[in-house]
Structure 1
Amino acid sequence: MQQKQFECFYEEYSDAIFKYILMLVGNKETAEDFTQETFYRAYKQFETFKEQASIQTWLRKIARNLVYDHYRRKRIIQFIPFLSQHEQQDTNLLPSEIVEKGEAIVAVYRALSKLKLEYKEVIILRKIEGLSIKETGNLLGWTEVKVKNATARAMQALKKELEEGGELHGEGFRSIIK
């Protein structure tokens, strides 16, 4: 592969890969390091890319493996909310609606942090990142049926966490949990 072509891949996908990693590790510096490591490994292993999935899915899989290795080494599972996707606020909302929506997002991420890693991951990929069932299945190595079932179970678990925390109320929460 030409270096120029790989630079184009980096420019196109590095932000998305960084955000994905940041959502899983919750630390900006670690996410930056893992993003660089993801692209380094991709560059070294590009000949193994079989184009059965998109380049972005392949890069996410490399990133996911790095994160899992990190957790195995550290023997920790943690999650720190990543809110930058939601920081752009709709100017048509009233100030009270903006506050309620912001509180709802924080509550959802707090509840999400209490879920097992498999549930966090499927919610992040499907509901936050917006990947399709097929893309999520490719990335996680799951069948489409397993993705659908895990998403449904994860959303139920998230809803239960929100209810138990007394945080599932108001229109802001219903608009976030669909």
Structure 2
Amino acid sequence: MDQQELNEWFNEYGESILTYILLMVRDYQQAEDLTQETFLKAYRSKQQFKESSSVKTWLFSIAHNATIDHFRKKHPLKHYLGLTMEEKDGMPLPEQIIEMNEESEELYRAIQQLKPTYKHVIILRKLKEFSTSETAHVLNWSESKVKMTLRRALVELEKVLTRGGVINEINRSI
């Protein structure tokens, strides 16, 4: 891999990988660092890239693993117990990072309350619009596990949104 190819990958996938990581770590600077780490790892391990997957899924796999490693190092007990990091200030992300309307802010907060496996599958399948097979590749799961986990995650997300009153408010406005 040469510098030009790496630049092309960064131009094509950099922003998408940054937002994916940002949804997980909730810290813009950390997300930038992990995005840079993702592309450095890709550069160093290009010879391990198998053409059986797309560049996109390979890069997202690296980003996913870098994010998991970050949580393991920063919060080993929380990672072991399957807990997510809590928000530092309870405020949504700055508008300049991700512009959200009121309903999507509620959705974002609800997703943050889910366990990590549910959060990962919802972000990849529904927010990043990955296919089932792409998601399976990124998470190193079977396609059936992706489908089953997504179904369970969406049920749990609906419960969280209902508890928060979002679903009832949406139904009233229809």
Using the size of structure 1 for normalisation, the TM-score is: 0.82
Name 1:141's counterpart in structure 2.
140
Aligned-partner SS, 1:70: helix
Among the aligned pairs, what percent are the same residue?
Answer: 40
The separation in 1 between residues aligned to 2:8 and 2:73, in whole angstroms, is: 32
- The match for 1:78 among 85, 88, 91 is 85
Q: What is the CA RMSD across the aligned residues, in angstroms?
A: 2.3
172 and 128 in structure 1: CA distance in 2 versus 1, 3 angstrom threshold: farther
Aligned-partner SS, 2:62: helix
Q: Deviations for 1:8-44, whole angstroms, at most 9, x for unmatched residues? A: 1121111111111111111110011111111011001
Name 1:36's counterpart in structure 2.
36
Aligned-partner SS, 2:166: coil
13 and 40 in structure 1: CA distance in 2 versus 1, 3 angstrom threshold: same
Q: Deviations for 1:70-122, whole angstroms, at most 9, x for unmatched residues? A: 111121422765676654xxxxxxxxxxxxxx322121111111110000010
The separation in 2 between residues aligned to 1:174 and 1:49, in whole angstroms, is: 49
Aligned-partner SS, 1:110: helix
Using the size of structure 2 for normalisation, the TM-score is: 0.84
The separation in 2 between residues aligned to 1:111 and 1:6, in whole angstroms, is: 35
The separation in 1 between residues aligned to 2:118 and 2:71, in whole angstroms, is: 16
Q: Note the C-alpha offset of 1:48.
A: 0.5
Report the residue type matching 1:111 in the other structure: A
The separation in 1 between residues aligned to 2:143 and 2:57, in whole angstroms, is: 15
Report the residue type matching 2:66 in the other structure: L
Name 2:81's counterpart in structure 1.
none
The separation in 2 between residues aligned to 1:17 and 1:173, in whole angstroms, is: 36
Name 2:21's counterpart in structure 1.
21
Note if contact 1:21-1:64 (Cα within 8 Å) is conserved in structure 2: yes
Report the residue type matching 1:121 in the other structure: H
Aligned-partner SS, 1:36: helix
Report the residue type matching 1:38 in the other structure: T
Q: Deviations for 1:108-164, whole angstroms, at most 9, x for unmatched residues? A: 111111110000010000111111111101111111111111000000000011112
Q: Which ranges of structure 2 fall in alignment gaps of 5 or more residues? A: 79-83
Q: Which ranges of structure 1 fall in alignment gaps of 5 or more residues? A: 88-101
Note if contact 1:38-1:63 (Cα within 8 Å) is conserved in structure 2: yes
Name 1:155's counterpart in structure 2.
154
Report the residue type matching 2:15 in the other structure: D
